[in-house]
């Protein structure tokens, strides 16, 4: 059944790269607050090394993962095989949020082909890698990416996205700080 690994080897790297979507889960510190689980796709995930990964974070209606990472760093990323042999892989680790004006953002961005609406990159240093059977995960057929996110971001334009992020992404639903930089380059 399940196994634990010290790092992402070539077999796991191939499995992760082949999955069209993944899920990111986080939670605030303490007994209160809301646990969050966010689906991700659009070819936004990269393995940077045996214990280091990153993903692009696009503008959305909330900022829970970013706020939780800023507060305590804890994250788990889960990949499920919806086609082929059953498998689930979880990557537990400590995250860091890099916004476009942060040092290191541009170098990390070189690993990706970003689309419109990018607001941050989340880099994770992996502390635990595990897999499990995935026998209960249904078989689903991948048909392609949805075009709505890019179209929405393009319609908003840079100014509209900046205003949207100021309104919707400055704090989590529990009031934790979210995005730090405003569109003039000053920390919020």
Percent of the chain with pLDDT strictly greater than 90: 95
- Is residue 8 included in any domain, yes or no? yes
Judge whether 83 and 139 are in contact, CB under 8 Å.
yes
- Is residue 181 included in any domain, yes or no? no
Q: How many domains does the chain have?
A: 1
Q: How far apart are CA 84 and CA 53, in angstroms?
A: 24
pLDDT for 76: 98
- Is residue 179 included in any domain, yes or no? no
Q: What is the mean pLDDT of the chain?
A: 95
- Is residue 84 included in any domain, yes or no? yes
- Is residue 173 included in any domain, yes or no? no
pLDDT for 36: 97
Which H or E element spans position 64?
Answer: helix 64-72
- Is residue 38 included in any domain, yes or no? yes
Question: For residue 12, what are the domain limits?
Answer: 3-168
- What are 122's strand-pairing partners? 55, 97
Q: How far apart are CA 166 and CA 144, in angstroms?
A: 31
What pLDDT, in 10s, does the model give residues 116-172? 999 999 999 999 999 999 999 999 999 999 999 999 999 999 999 999 999 999 999
What pLDDT, in 10s, does the model give residues 5-29? 999 999 999 999 999 999 999 999 9
Max CA separation in the chain (angstroms)? 51
Q: What is the pLDDT confidence band of residue 2, given thresholds at 50, 70 and 90?
A: confident
- Is residue 178 included in any domain, yes or no? no
Whether 78 has a pLDDT exceeding 90, the answer reads yes
- Could you tell me whether strands 118-132 and 88-98 are parallel, antiparallel, or unpaired per DSSP bridges? antiparallel
Whether 184 has a pLDDT exceeding 60, the answer reads no
Report field, pTM of the whole predicted structure over 0.85: yes
CATH of the domain at 86: 2.30.110.10
- Is residue 158 included in any domain, yes or no? yes
Whether 1 has a pLDDT exceeding 90, the answer reads no
Buried b (16+ CB within 10 A) or exposed e, 143-164: eeeeeebeebbeebeeeebbeb
Look at residues 138, 106, 124, 113 and name the one whose alpha carbon lies nearest to residue 44: 113
For residue 23, count CB atoms less than 10 angstroms from its CB and return exposed for 0-12, middle for 13-18, buried for 19 or more: middle
């Amino acid at each position: 059944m399940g196994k634990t690994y010290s790092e992402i080897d070539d077999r796991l790297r191939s499995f992760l790269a082949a999955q069209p979507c993944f899920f990111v889960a986080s939670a605030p510190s303490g007994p209160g607050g809301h646990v969050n689980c966010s689906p991700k796709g659009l070819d936004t995930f990269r393995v940077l090394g045996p214990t280091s990964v990153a993903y692009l974070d696009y503008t959305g209606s909330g900022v829970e993962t970013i706020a939780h990472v800023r507060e305590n760093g804890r994250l788990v990323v889960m990949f499920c095989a919806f086609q082929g042999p059953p498998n689930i892989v979880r990557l537990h680790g400590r995250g860091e949020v890099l916004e476009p004006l942060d040092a290191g953002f541009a170098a990390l961005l070189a690993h990706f082909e970003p689309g419109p609406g990018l607001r941050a990159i989340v880099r994770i240093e992996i502390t635990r890698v595990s897999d499990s059977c995935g026998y209960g995960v249904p078989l689903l057929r991948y048909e392609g990416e949805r075009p709505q996110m890019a179209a929405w971001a393009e319609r908003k334009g840079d100014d509209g996205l900046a205003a949207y992020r100021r309104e919707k992404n400055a704090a989590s639903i529990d009031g934790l700080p979210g995005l730090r930089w405003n569109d003039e380059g000053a920390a919020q």
